[in-house]
């Protein structure tokens, strides 16, 4: 900023005062909303927005804009005040804080164009900031990412996952700021104002750490300059601040009004918002993605869907430079290492840290990348809160979980995802896909990449035969009817490995003179309601689901809701107790989801009807 | 151990060799199972089991026994080999590793009496170890807890949550050991053999850190002694080790056989297992818990269930010394601060770190405490993988999540749990409870404390009227029929705040001459199938669920499965899109779960039938 410190600092101080006043007024009008957490970060916010970052308040999504992530999302009122001060919208809107008709929600969401990812669950913003910082590298931009954390937030393990990854990736375009106001929600924080506790930790994790007085504007500006000049490592500014006590806010407001300092009228300091440096205009046109290479299998080939996932991901990497992949040290099991071989510069290793893997994917997705984070499906539950917040953000992360169900065998229950379908289906805006063979896995992966919003694919460990032709078509929201005749007495609906149990059951029943319909429900959400109802009606209302998943929240529940309005009910085969180690085929048998159980269930249906 | 080092070390070295051989043989027989991860920790294991810990191999659950938690659960084969060597079971059993008929599973589970909590999801064992260490303090025992981690595991954020809590609680009865073998699953670990990276981090987090050669028995013994002598802080032993390469295992086995060193026959060194120090016999009889004080409300009182939870928890604290509570800095919102006032020494503050909160609860539960971890229901999703592993362990943690649903209002979607019922219902051994008023909240809390296995209670933010008498009885697996007549045309099933929407709808419909049955489904799992079917049949098969939760995995799905066998279907009102900030009553209306929507749905049913 082209202005001497003596002019700049009083102007910034006035802005900080105005941001404090706006925060108190807005939360007072709303009747709730963490004003004291806003107060402590007011000076930091003023310096960041009006003397540090480059952005266009009228074009906040500009690819070259610096990013600001408010990891302590409960301080939303001052975030809104800062954007209003910058000219993004009319300051009068601030008084609609938390109202149903306003996008100025209690915690920030991407309903607002200047918010990349929703925050409000502590420890997530810094993970998303890793993603926006990685994205700068991806698009070869020098934009910087700033992320502001609360001090209490530092207790969240995800913060330290992010700390490790930022150091490993040498993200010197990332600047963290911790607002050390020493007060948590219910009591003083763990380390209160002992700044050394913070400094030791961040330095140990490889960050450049700077301790400052968070209300001393000169120290703030110096620290931001030092961060920008620091190469090869990220910087954390640890700012000692004061949180006003809530009960004193009314008095504070009166005090604040008196705090404005004289700034020469008409000079540059009187209009800092007008001088925010704009991002450079750079061409960022993405080449139209090339078509993804088609599957190339032979019917009957034995290929695990997890392996087909890796193959498809590598093909997608070649077709579209926006596609990136993230791993948590299982790339050789999920086969995401095939992506790494093709596009190592877009493959982000997070080691065994699932939260930052998913959080970084959220930041990448918010900035135009198409990120595929993957690990064992059971370990993605480690990032369940990130999965939830990605739904709130409606960002297009493309999760893949391998090794689903008891069919993994000997590794035992700790490695078996049996609740993952429930987890993703619960989020109303996730697409949930579950291919049974290599062709469908490849086709669905390409579809999920371009499906708007978040998506999840479940893959399996065992090799399964290819049952689809390389030119077969699939849709998100579709299904495949694999066996069908006018004589069908029941419809058996499986997905993944249970499709093959259903096909075995078909053969056994056919040999005994009984015909059944077999459906591969590869898309659980959205779901092909009409086709399921039609199949149910055509087969005497006899619907049987079979899934390598616990009974609640999976295929059975999905089908049951889809056909309920048609008056149809569903019988379910699912895993109904905690499983154990054993051979895959032994476990599929023991936990009630094998061909034998399907045959018995169908015979039972015939008896009852 | 009463033996000179010159005799002890060769004997321990022989045991380590035997543990290596057993690990290789067992995994070779099983055809899978991480032998190299066992090899690197063999010397550490031999020293711990045969020269450090006090325990009775025939009575592993003894309350005074030292605890060993294998946080790197994939090294299960050497854990089993060590217990066999100690005499817990016949060594021949080791060859049944990973077979369906053996409890020697791929990763350890509490099916084995010497395993406190299931491990295999990295970063959890150390959290559980916090719990077993806290438990020693609770029962005034000097037993120690040892936890062995992998180096790759250190990337998990939960490890650093545990690191902070152990320091804050000054757990000098806790000794961690990190097996730094420098190799992850798919590649070298983040810091390989750079021991300083580990040392800096653990010291910064307040631990006493000791770097050793993990294959030098004297260094191992010295470090364990130093840890035991360290007061006021936990110790982390950082052991540099070598992981044999997998392809060299066969050769390794032959080499290992040659490595036995001479130990004088008949001397004490020849029988270290026989000299393991036994835990002292101490009376640990828990006084029979006193009866929990009954609820004391007046019908119509306005009390939030979250507040009744706090009241009940404090009463339970007074009735039973085994009850402990854990918080993540929201005790003033969840009302767990009422417990803290009554029993501060059994109230464990974790600050904003949900994973270690739930993990520590798992360790406490495994050792006989009755732990109640609580926070906002949405933030418990942060610990979803711990919730899952608690199911695998079948440990009696009693989770409570407050602020469920859109009815929290202005704070917005990041603070609204709308998928929590799906998360807990997916686990087949969780009890899932959802009280609507203060009396039922208090009664259900007391029931869940003594229910075997894990349980979850969902509480609400808004104040709701007391509708039950203080002497009303509740059961896990029960429900209450609140309105009933022979003329009922439909059954409306709610829980929590939607019970009151259903009662409002009842009044409105009644005024228009239509009678409905109203059910408070306070127990979602187990569920009262018979009562639901009976109500459905008595009301023309018209069942309507209404829930402050997303459509998948909650009340609608629970009821639908319960009545499916009876041929009944369910119509559902639920939140079907990502919500936003607003007043509670506005949101209940806007997202389709208000009395008005119930009235409309019932009228629609009448038209259709």
For B448, the 3-state DSSP assignment is helix
Interface mutation vs chain B, best among A532, A556, A560, A581, most B CBs within 10 Å? A581
β-strands A570-575, A543-550 pairing? parallel
pLDDT for A269? 83
pLDDT for B264? 80
CA distance A501 to A588: 9
The pLDDT tens digits for B20-63 are 999 999 999 999 999 999 999 999 999 999 999 999 999 999 99
CA distance A576 to A562: 22
From residue A49, how far is each of A43, A229, A274, B242, B376 by CA, in Å?
Answer: 10, 18, 12, 51, 32
pLDDT for A588? 98
pLDDT for A607? 59
Determine what percent of chain B is predicted with pLDDT higher than 90: 92
pLDDT for A520? 98
For A115, the 3-state DSSP assignment is coil
The helix (H) or strand (E) run that includes residue B232 is: none
The reply to whether B524 touches chain A by the CB within 8 Å rule is no
**Chain A residue whose CA is closest to B99:** A582
Distance of CA B533 to the CA centre of its chain: 33
Show residues of chain B in contact with A578, CB under 8 Å: 391-392, 394, 428-429
- Compute the nearest-CA separation of A556 from chain B (Å): 9
ipTM of this predicted structure: 0.96
From residue A226, how far is each of A9, A179, A222, A229, B456 by CA, in Å?
Answer: 17, 18, 6, 5, 49
- Compute the nearest-CA separation of B487 from chain A (Å): 23
Q: Across residues A131-152, what is the average pLDDT?
A: 97
pLDDT for A246? 54
CA distance A359 to A348: 12
Of B157, B352, B378, the CB nearest to A152: B352
Count of CB atoms within 10 A of residue B485's CB? 12
**Chain B residue whose CA is closest to A411:** B106
pLDDT for A2? 62
Of A120, A355, A578, the CB nearest to B429: A578
Of A107, A353, A419, the CB nearest to B415: A107
| pLDDT surpassing 90 at residue B572 | yes
Count of CB atoms within 10 A of residue A484's CB? 16
Q: Do B381 and A388 make contact, defined as CB atoms within 8 angstroms?
A: yes
Tell whether the torsion through CA atoms of B353, B354, B355 and B357 is positive or negative.
positive
Lowest-confidence pick of A65-79, A264-278, B441-455: A264-278
pLDDT for A286? 65
The helix (H) or strand (E) run that includes residue A422 is: helix A420-425
From residue A447, how far is each of A369, A450, A505, B597 by CA, in Å?
Answer: 16, 6, 30, 36
**A520 with A440: CB under 8 angstroms?**
yes
The reply to whether B29 touches chain A by the CB within 8 Å rule is no
The reply to whether A508 touches chain B by the CB within 8 Å rule is no
Interface mutation vs chain B, best among A71, A98, A157, A594, most B CBs within 10 Å? A157
| pLDDT surpassing 70 at residue B248 | no
**Chain B residue whose CA is closest to A333:** B186
CA distance A533 to A559: 9
A248 pairs with which residues across the strands?
none
Mean of the per-residue pLDDT values of chain A? 95
Determine what percent of chain B is predicted with pLDDT higher than 70: 98
For A354, the 3-state DSSP assignment is helix
| pLDDT surpassing 70 at residue B247 | no
Show residues of chain B in contact with A336, CB under 8 Å: none
For B487, the 3-state DSSP assignment is coil
**A207 with A235: CB under 8 angstroms?**
yes
Which of 290-349 (B) contact A at CB < 8 A?
327, 329-333, 337, 349
Q: Across residues B52-75, what is the average pLDDT?
A: 97
Interface mutation vs chain A, best among B126, B156, B196, most A CBs within 10 Å? B156
CA distance A9 to A4: 9
- Compute the nearest-CA separation of B415 from chain A (Å): 7
From residue B204, how far is each of A198, A202, B196 by CA, in Å?
Answer: 9, 9, 12
H-assigned helices in B171-276? 195-204, 217-229, 249-257
| pLDDT surpassing 70 at residue A448 | yes
Interface mutation vs chain B, best among A31, A120, A186, A431, most B CBs within 10 Å? A186
Determine what percent of chain A is predicted with pLDDT higher than 70: 98
Q: Do B553 and A551 make contact, defined as CB atoms within 8 angstroms?
A: no
Number of inter-chain CB pairs under 8 A, A vs B: 348
Sorting pLDDT into bands at 50, 70 and 90, what band is B16? very high
Sorting pLDDT into bands at 50, 70 and 90, what band is B251? confident
Tell whether the torsion through CA atoms of A307, A313, A315 and A318 is positive or negative.
negative
Show residues of chain B in contact with A584, CB under 8 Å: none
The pLDDT tens digits for A514-558 are 999 999 999 999 999 999 999 999 999 999 999 999 999 999 999
**Chain A residue whose CA is closest to B106:** A411
Mean of the per-residue pLDDT values of chain B? 95
Q: Across residues B498-516, what is the average pLDDT?
A: 98
Quick one: which of A556, A74, A117, A385 has its CA closest to B419?
A385
pLDDT for B261? 87
**Chain A residue whose CA is closest to B96:** A582
Show residues of chain B in contact with A384, CB under 8 Å: 381-382, 384-385, 423
**A334 with A374: CB under 8 angstroms?**
yes
Q: A117-149 burial string, b = 16+ CB within 10 Å, else e?
A: bbbbbbbbbbbbbbbbbbbbbbbebebbbbbbb
For A237, the 3-state DSSP assignment is strand
Tell whether the torsion through CA atoms of B581, B585, B589 and B591 is positive or negative.
positive
- Compute the nearest-CA separation of A471 from chain B (Å): 33
Q: Do A427 and B550 make contact, defined as CB atoms within 8 angstroms?
A: yes
Q: Do A428 and B550 make contact, defined as CB atoms within 8 angstroms?
A: yes
The reply to whether A225 touches chain B by the CB within 8 Å rule is no
CA distance A482 to B556: 30
pLDDT for B268? 81
Backbone angles phi, psi at A480, to 5 degrees: -125, 130
- Compute the nearest-CA separation of B292 from chain A (Å): 27
Which position among B156, B354, B442, B547 bears the catalytic label? B354
Q: Do A561 and B551 make contact, defined as CB atoms within 8 angstroms?
A: yes
| pLDDT surpassing 70 at residue A247 | no
The pLDDT tens digits for B120-144 are 999 999 999 999 999 999 999 999 9
B69 pairs with which residues across the strands?
B147
pLDDT for A251? 78
Which of 124-163 (A) contact B at CB < 8 A?
152-153, 155-161
Q: Across residues A8-17, what is the average pLDDT?
A: 95
- Compute the nearest-CA separation of A276 from chain B (Å): 31
Q: Across residues B424-447, what is the average pLDDT?
A: 98
| pLDDT surpassing 60 at residue B359 | yes
| pLDDT surpassing 60 at residue B585 | yes
The pLDDT tens digits for A380-398 are 999 999 999 999 999 999 9
DSSP tag of B370 = E
The reply to whether B356 touches chain A by the CB within 8 Å rule is yes
Output the CA torsion B21→B123→B111→A584 (10° steps). -80
């Amino acid at each position: 900023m082209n202005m001497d410190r003596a002019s700049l600092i009083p102007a910034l101080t006035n802005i900080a005062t105005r941001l404090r006043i706006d925060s108190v007024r807005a939360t007072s009008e709303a009747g709730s909303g963490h004003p004291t957490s806003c107060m402590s970060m007011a000076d930091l916010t003023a310096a960041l927005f009006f003397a540090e970052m480059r952005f266009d308040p009228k074009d906040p999504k500009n690819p070259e804009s610096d990013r600001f992530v408010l990891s302590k999302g409960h301080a939303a009122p001052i975030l809104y005040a800062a954007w209003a001060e910058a000219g993004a919208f009319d300051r009068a809107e601030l008084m609609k804080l938390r109202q149903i008709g306003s996008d100025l929600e209690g915690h920030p969401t991407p309903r607002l164009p200047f918010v990349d990812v929703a925050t409000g669950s502590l420890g997530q913003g810094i993970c998303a900031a890793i993603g926006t910082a990685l994205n700068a590298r991806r698009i070869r931009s020098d934009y910087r990412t700033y992320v502001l954390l609360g001090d209490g937030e530092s207790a969240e393990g995800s913060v330290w996952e992010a700390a490790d990854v930022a150091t490993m990736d040498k993200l010197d375009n990332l600047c963290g700021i911790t607002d050390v106001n020493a007060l948590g929600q219910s009591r003083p924080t763990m380390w209160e104002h002992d700044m050394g506790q913070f400094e030791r930790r961040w330095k140990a994790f490889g960050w450049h750490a700077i301790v400052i007085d968070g209300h001393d504007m000169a120290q703030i500006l110096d620290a931001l300059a030092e961060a920008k000049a620091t190469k090869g490592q990220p910087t954390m500014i640890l700012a000692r601040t004061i949180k006003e006590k809530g009960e004193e806010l009314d008095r504070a407001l009166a005090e604040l009004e008196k705090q404005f300092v004289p700034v020469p009228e008409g000079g540059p300091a009187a209009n800092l918002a007008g001088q925010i440096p704009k991002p450079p205009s750079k061409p960022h046109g993405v080449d139209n993605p090339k078509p993804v290479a088609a599957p190339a299998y032979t019917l009957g080939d034995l290929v695990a869907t997890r392996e087909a996932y890796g193959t498809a991901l590598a093909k997608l990497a070649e077709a579209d430079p926006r596609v990136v992949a993230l791993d948590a040290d299982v790339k050789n099991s999920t086969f995401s290492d095939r992506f790494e071989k093709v596009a190592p510069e877009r493959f982000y290793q997070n080691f065994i840290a699932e939260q930052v893997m998913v959080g970084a994917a959220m930041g990448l997705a918010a900035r135009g990348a198409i990120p595929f984070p993957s690990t064992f499906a059971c370990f993605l539950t480690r990032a369940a809160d990130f999965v939830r917040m990605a739904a709130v953000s409606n960002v297009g992360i493309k999760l893949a979980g391998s090794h689903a169900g008891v069919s993994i065998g000997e590794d035992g229950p700790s490695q078996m995802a049996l609740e993952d379908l429930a987890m993703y289906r619960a989020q109303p805006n996730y697409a949930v896909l579950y291919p049974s063979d290599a062709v469908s896995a490849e086709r669905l992966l390409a579809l999920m990449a371009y499906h708007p919003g978040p998506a999840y694919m479940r893959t399996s460990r065992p090799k399964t035969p290819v049952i689809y032709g390389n030119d077969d078509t699939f849709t998100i929201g579709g299904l495949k009817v694999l066996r069908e005749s006018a004589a069908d007495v029941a419809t058996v609906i499986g997905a993944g490995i249970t499709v093959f149990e259903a096909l075995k059951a078909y053969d056994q029943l056919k040999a005994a003179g009984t015909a059944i319909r077999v459906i591969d429900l590869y898309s659980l959400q959205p779901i092909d309601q009409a086709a399921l109802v039609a199949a149910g009606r055509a087969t005497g209302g006899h619907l049987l689901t079979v899934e390598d998943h616990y009974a609640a929240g999976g295929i059975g529940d999905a089908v049951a809701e889809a056909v309920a309005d048609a008056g149809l009910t569903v019988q379910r085969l699912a895993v109904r107790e905690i499983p154990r180690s054993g051979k895959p085929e032994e476990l599929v048998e023991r936990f009630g989801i094998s061909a034998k159980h399907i045959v018995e269930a169908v015979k039972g249906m015939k008896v009852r009807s």
